[in-house]
Amino acid sequence: MEKRLVNRNIYIDSRMSSCDLLELPLCRVAVYSAPASYRENGSGNEDAAAVVSVNEHSTLVMVADGVGGTPGGAEAAAQTIRTVVAEIEKRQGDEMRDTILSAIEQANEDLLDKGIGSATTLVLMEVNGTTVRPYHVGDSVAMMVGQRGKIKLETLSHSPVGYAVEAGILSEAEGFHHEDRHLVSNIVGTAGMHVTLGMCPFIWRNSIPFCSAQTACSTTCNETKSSRLFATAT
């Protein structure tokens, strides 16, 4: 019997004017994707995203941000999302952690096989019942915040500035304005790509929203403002 996902929603080169609200078996997910306001009119959206219900107990939310300055960054993001979704669908029934890691590795191999140097970041949140586990490559960020805006979970950006802020060498404000904040240390589409994942699932409650956000969450507004925004939206 052909394997099918319960629900899949893929967003490629989206130009939304409002959020897409998805009512899924496990949770409710709001998606918004559009070209950055500072880009020239007519420029494309280099980000891609997907929301996938594997079954009534498991939902995956993922975002890929095509790396600017590499050939076909937008295409790399789109291809990575499609590959990850397809691999997850093909490997249904396997242990989810292994399935996700294998899917990301396959996406990396596919970009390397193209041989044009295209690359993308990727962040994925695996939600299972009362737990959530983050997986990420690059400086796209996964956050989980409480209703009062307290940050419960935030992934570490794979970037020189991200590491410096985490180590206390730079403050959050200094990192926000740093001239090298656009540099990324780890991306999908490179031989040295590696995936960081939560060592154990984080407990979440219905009162704690989660989101999968791109670097805009860290560079357009700082994390404190972002967490308040998410909390207010819920």
Task: Identify the residue with better confidence: 51 or 46.
Answer: 51
The ranges assigned to domains in the chain are 7-32+44-233
pLDDT of residue 34: 85
151 exposure class (CB count in 10 Å sphere: 0-12, 13-18, 19+): middle
* pLDDT one-digit tens code per residue, 54-83: 888 889 999 999 987 777 889 999 999 999
Please state, in angstroms and rounded to a whole number, the distance separating the CA atoms of residues 218 and 157. 10
pLDDT of residue 39: 60
Which of 36, 163, 175, 100 lies closest to 155, judged by CA? 163
**Model confidence band, residue 209 (pLDDT cutoffs 50, 70, 90):** very low
Three-state DSSP at 37 gives coil
**Model confidence band, residue 206 (pLDDT cutoffs 50, 70, 90):** very low
**Model confidence band, residue 50 (pLDDT cutoffs 50, 70, 90):** very high
CATH architecture of 7-32+44-233: 4-Layer Sandwich (3.60)
pLDDT of residue 32: 86
pLDDT of residue 100: 95
Task: Identify the residue with better confidence: 37 or 131.
Answer: 131
Model-level pTM?
A: 0.84
pLDDT of residue 224: 53
pLDDT of residue 210: 54
Task: Identify the residue with better confidence: 153 or 190.
Answer: 190
What is the average pLDDT across 133-149? 83
Q: Are 105 and 169 in contact (CB under 8 A)?
A: no
What is the average pLDDT across 131-149? 83
* pLDDT one-digit tens code per residue, 4-40: 777 889 999 898 889 888 888 877 888 888 887 766 6
Please state, in angstroms and rounded to a whole number, the distance separating the CA atoms of residues 111 and 104. 11
* pLDDT one-digit tens code per residue, 156-193: 888 888 888 889 998 888 888 888 888 889 999 999 99
Task: Identify the residue with better confidence: 109 or 142.
Answer: 109
Please state, in angstroms and rounded to a whole number, the distance separating the CA atoms of residues 99 and 59. 13
